[in-house]
Structure 1
Amino acid sequence: MILTQEKKNGIQYTPDDLSLFIAQQLKYYFLRENSDSVSNQKLKLLDPACGDGNLLLAVQNVFKDIDYQGYGIDIDQKAIHIAEGKLNHNNFKLFSADYLSLIENVENVNLFNQPNSLNNEINNIDLIIANPPYIRTSILGAERSQHLAKLFNLSGKVDMYHVFLKAMTNTLKDNGILCVITSNKYLTNKSGKNIRDFLSDNFKILNIIDLGDTKPFSAAVLPAIFIGKKKKHSDNSSVPFTRVYESASSAKSTDSIDKLSTLLKEKNGIHSYKGHSFKVTSGLLDASVSDTPWNMATFAEKEWVTKLEKNAHKKFGDVFDVHVGIKTTADNVFIKKNWKDLDTNIRPEKEVLHPLVSSKTIERWQTHPDNLNTILYTHTIKNGKRIPIDFYKYPHAYNYLLEHKQQLAGRSYIKKAKRKWYEIWVPQQPEQLANNKVIFPDISQQAKFVYDDKGYYVDGNCYWLTTKNDVSNNYLLLATGVANSSIMEKYYNIKFQNVLYSGRKRYLTQYVKNYLLPDINNKHSQKIIKLVKMICKNPNDTKKLEKSINSEVQLAFNMQ
């Protein structure tokens, strides 16, 4: 894929309406936090990735009654020139520079103005407003990426906004205010723990606004606004939040909003914005705990979750192992719809071909066998261990693989791992794939859990559950009913909140293993198992049976 320079640099300039809202939030919280001791000195305000100046222009319009000196820095010299045309030169000094290089005192930085004093001027900043780049640091190259990770004590998959958050905190003076828009991933992802830790340790968190799938930017990024006062070891157990996501429910026809800033100020409920319905949820979250996602739920929602968890008997992780599907790294070779189209001498033997369930062929409760692809599987079990198949025993399959040897053998990671050139890269365990299991897609708008007793293989865009040792197969049937129920959908929406655009959810291991199960021995659980079996036998009755399952799940958890 060819990237524009903007995409390569993670550039997404802030729209006017959102810029104005962020500037208003910055002013409001500055005045609120300094109501008793507003300084007579001129404030220092910084945007370290100012782009073409939209955020600073909003500051200029909002901060008319406040004495400040503004600084704008951006690596893009053309963007700086555009910003210069927008802003009052008496209030702002603009520089073409790499902010991250400046604060780590790297030499040879290209500056327009005052090159000898900029490093000093951008220290002890009172106010920071920013929309830093949203890209992996790895795009900068291994050496630079590793240097930034070491400099700012970051580990794992590091985004540039992680680096900027730490760098801006270093630049900000004690009790200074930070108002920044970033990706919202750190709020709910397991990998966001380090940033959640850092923000909670270094700020009194004043507000968090998850913009969800309101799509303020053209790129496929879900943004969030963080507002904090630099103050170590603050009590962040009760932080105000607002969360806005597209909803399947309809808003009132008279409730039509044309500005995102207006939508973000609305009360809890469903509102119409740009022809779509959005649910606004506001309340208080506990940001003092970082091991789990920062849960943006109302008090009523949290009480409901607490009751459900109290009434649960087990978690999925207690009785199931969660697996990801097969990853071939050469789908065009290993996966086909119809192998019969090939010439006989290169048509793989049926013993090495297996029906494959993928996210496109899975629906709620069922898969359609006629729509399944078939995978040429390269592994078998010998003496309890997974080994590559000896394809000399399957000459037609081997002839087929030889036709694609250049592509398959060219996978450098295969060579490095000293694997056979024709191997699937992540084959999983074939004996487990052949067992009964529950399959579900990684990404979906709604729960799509399917009980499989046909030994289907599973594609890499899906996950699957198998029972742990000595666990009854009935748990798989119970899990299918519970996971597809309206109660577990509600639990996911409140507890995990990992929503992509247009209501699509990520059904990741870290979430599904924490799904809840009622006592399998109570009469309602037994009824759920029977109902799931009935759906498996007669999918035509799904709607009627699904309604009964929802009712039984509610009773099984004693949530009526």
Structure 2
Amino acid sequence: MEKLFTALNESSEQLAEELQLSYIEAVAETGENLFHGDVLQDELSELAKKKVKKLYADIQLDTYELEEIRKAFQLCVLKGLKEGAHPNHQMTPDSVGIFVGYLVQRFMSNKPSFSLLDPAVGTGNLLTAVLNQLKDHKVESSGVDVDDLLIQLSYINANLQKHPVQFYNQDSLQNLFVDPADAVICDLPVGYYPNDEGASAFSLKADEGHSYAHHLFIEQSMNHAKPGGYLFFIIPNQLFSSKEAPKLNAFIKEQAYIQGLLQLPLSMFQGEQHAKSIFILQKKGEGAAPPKQAMLADLPKFSNFEGMQAMMKQINEWFEKSR
């Protein structure tokens, strides 16, 4: 993985310097090159082309595990995001993405093939982390994002890992061109949605002022889940303590059954006010039913092997007894 990261990183630096690009734009360019097995930038000098080709020469993508490719690409994207191109975009942590993948796999275990949607796909790190946990399933997946650079990175990320994903570069809170999905995953973008006119189409629009984007994403996800479909949200812990929370509570109660709420370790976040949880819903419809008891737990640190083993045992028992 280190070798792949080095090749991606050094070729990105070379392309950024030669083409007057930001580092993160160059990551997109080098990822495209690596996927096609060629240097696609005609405007590069011959010397620069030789340097970049030399970096690619030792990389055979077929010899890497999908998770190695995802992590190497993710490290370059993280470096680019830290340089300030997208200061407001936070990538879903690795351990969280892998754990969400495990949960999706468990809840969808009786469906050998299903459709999956991420309406806030960003760089595709959460989506591909989840897909990498679904090796025994045939998954038809889609991702939506309004940011053209992030969706380009997502597309390249998926290509390098050979995941066939349909991507849509559009405002995720407008009319989506995607079919309803069996499962939805979303690391909710937290904040206000500036388009008041667009928000007016939602039940969860604010009574006054800008609406919460994270509330609208929950409604949009529900709209694009099939009846009986599962939704896996990464939510801020304060989701149900805002002045708009009663309306959100009523909406969820009307539309879905709560399957689980798993609080992520506080040590992952810079202070309690930034802490998040994994919130699992099932949209009401044929075949859907409330669990005997919702899965509620505080997750231990992911590095705590014994704690995680005990947690996995609890989750497995919940699947046996409550569903």
State TM-score, norm by structure 2: 0.60
**133, 145, 154: which one aligns with 1:62:** 133
Q: Distance in 1 between matches of 2:281 and 2:200?
A: 23
Q: Which position in structure 2 is the counterpart of 1:136?
A: 192
Residue 145 in structure 1 maps to residue 202 in structure 2: no
Identify which of 236, 245, 270 aligns with 1:192.
245
Partner of residue 213 from structure 1, selected from 266, 278, 285: 266
Number of corresponding residues: 226
- 1:67 CA displacement: 0.9
Residues 48, 99 of structure 1: 8 Å contact kept: yes
Change over 3 Å in CA distance of 1:129–1:94 after alignment to 2: same
Structure 2 residue 97 is the aligned partner of structure 1 residue 19: yes
Amino acid at match of 2:296: F
Letter in 1 for 2:169: S
The aligned amino acid for 2:92 is: T
| 8 Å CA contact 1:17, 1:260 repeated in 2 | no
Q: Distance in 2 between matches of 1:178 and 1:67?
A: 18
- The structure-2 alpha-carbon separation of the partners of 1:124 and 1:195, relative to structure 1 and needing over 3 Å to count, comes to same
1:152 alignment partner AA? S
Q: Cα distance, 1:220 vs. partner?
A: 5.4
- Map of 1:310-329 to 2, 5 A cutoff? none
Q: How far off its partner does 1:46 sit?
A: 0.8
Larger Rg: 1
The two structures have a TM-score, normalised by structure 1, of: 0.36
Alignment of 1:514-525 (within 5 A): none
Quote the offset at 1:100 in angstroms. Answer: 1.4
Give the distance between the partners of 2:259 and 2:106, measured in 1 at CA: 11
Which deviations, in whole Å up to 9, do the C-alpha atoms of 1:319-347 show, x marking residues without a partner?
xxxxxxxxxxxxxxxxxxxxxxxxxxxxx
| Whole-angstrom CA distance in 1 between matches of 2:250 and 2:292 | 13
- Show the counterpart of 2:315: none
**In structure 2, what is the equivalent of residue 241 of structure 1?**
296
* Aligned counterpart, 1:328: none
- 1:134 aligns to what SS in structure 2? coil
Structure 2 SS opposite 1:55: helix
1:43-82 per-residue CA deviation (whole Å, 9 max, x = no partner) reads: 2111111111111211221111101111111112212222
Residue 107 of structure 2 aligns with which residue? 29
The residue number in structure 1 matching 2:79 is none
CA separation of 1:183 and 1:217: change in aligned 2, threshold 3 A: same
| CA-CA distance at 1:261 after TM superposition | 9.1
Unaligned residue ranges in structure 2 (runs of 5+): 1-83, 312-317, 319-323
Say whether 1:259 aligns with 2:315: no
Q: Percent identity?
A: 21
Superposed, 1:12-411 pairs within 5 Å as: 12-31=90-109, 35=110, 38=111, 42-87=113-158, 88-89=161-162, 91-103=164-176, 119=177, 122-137=178-193, 140=194, 144-156=195-207, 158-189=211-242, 191-211=244-264, 213-216=266-269, 221-231=274-284, 235=290, 238-243=293-298, 259=303, 266=310
- The DSSP-based 3-state class of the residue aligned with 2:174 is helix
The structure with the greater share of residues assigned to helix is 2
Q: Which ranges of structure 1 fall in alignment gaps of 5 or more residues?
A: 104-118, 246-256, 268-283, 285-560
Q: Deviating runs (4+, > 4 A) in structure 1? A: 216-220, 232-237, 260-267
* Pair 1:77–1:265, CA change in 2 (3 A): farther
Whole-angstrom distance in 2 between the partners of 1:182 and 1:236: 21
Closer/same/farther in 2, CA of residues 61 and 89 from structure 1, 3 Å limit? closer
Separation in 1, partners of 2:306, 2:121: 24
Secondary structure of the 2:274 match is coil
